[in-house]
Amino acid sequence: MVTGTADRTALEEELSRLAGSVPDPELPVLTLEELGVLRGVHVLGPGRVQVELTPTYTGCPAVEAMSSDIERVLRDHGVPDVSVVTVLSPAWSTDDISAEGRRKLAEFGIAPPRHQGGGATGPVPLTLAIRCPHCGSTETELLSRFSSTACKALRRCTACREPFDHFKEL
């Protein structure tokens, strides 16, 4: 019954690690931890856990799949009562994607987002070069601001001519 703070933190850390290891349903090369959408895991009582998740885009349909995947993983780990709540504030940014996440995106054929640092309400950044994930050339052009999902833009490499997705800055 008596649980020390240290124990509880250790449990929460373990559950965070488990929840964070869930793959993103649309970009399965990334984990939720690497995507930076996991905001917190709180043990509310014996067998009761609340997970805070933030959506990448407000209308991102992957959130429901993420929630049910997290619930399943934690239940399988012996937590019977798991609730996943979405939090909007502070707003998710592509800067929240980890370095490892960026590396995996590029390896998967998706140009990772450029770092923005601050200025979230500034104009849409379009100036810095975006590298082709196939041949590495920086000679790439924008085909469409919107691609297969809300979070990506469609580009083409003018060197190797391959089209590719770019995880656009948000």
Question: Should residue 115 be labelled a site residue for another protein when binding is judged by CB under 8 A?
Answer: no
Question: Should residue 121 be labelled a site residue for another protein when binding is judged by CB under 8 A?
Answer: yes
Binding-residue total with another protein (CB under 8 A): 28
Q: Which stretch binds another protein (CB under 8 A): 36-44, 65-73, 95-103, 149-157?
A: 149-157
DSSP string over 42-92:
EEEETTEEEEEE--SSTT-THHHHHHHHHHHHHHHTT-SEEEEEE--SSPP
Minimum distance from residue 15 beta carbon to another protein (Å): 25
Question: Should residue 48 be labelled a site residue for another protein when binding is judged by CB under 8 A?
Answer: no
State which of positions 80-99 bind another protein (CB under 8 A).
Answer: 87-93
Nearer residue to another protein within complex by CB, 31 or 147? 147
Minimum distance from residue 38 beta carbon to another protein (Å): 17
User: How far is the CA of 21 from the CAs of 31, 74, 78, 112, in angstroms?
Assistant: 5, 11, 16, 20
- Strands 140-144 vs 152-157: parallel, antiparallel or unpaired: antiparallel
Question: Should residue 143 be labelled a site residue for another protein when binding is judged by CB under 8 A?
Answer: yes
Q: Which amino acid is at 115?
A: H
Q: Can you tell me which of 29, 154, 159, 160 binds another protein, judged by CB under 8 A?
A: 154
Q: Cβ(102)–Cβ(129) under 8 Å?
A: no
Minimum distance from residue 109 beta carbon to another protein (Å): 18
Q: What is the edge-to-edge ordering of all strands in the sheet holding 38-45? A: 38-45, 48-53, 81-86
Q: Cβ(9)–Cβ(68) under 8 Å?
A: no
Question: Should residue 57 be labelled a site residue for another protein when binding is judged by CB under 8 A?
Answer: yes
| Distance, CA of 128 to CA of 3 (rounded, Å) | 51
Footprint of another protein (CB under 8 A) = 55, 57-61, 87-93, 120-121, 123-124, 143-150, 154, 168, 170
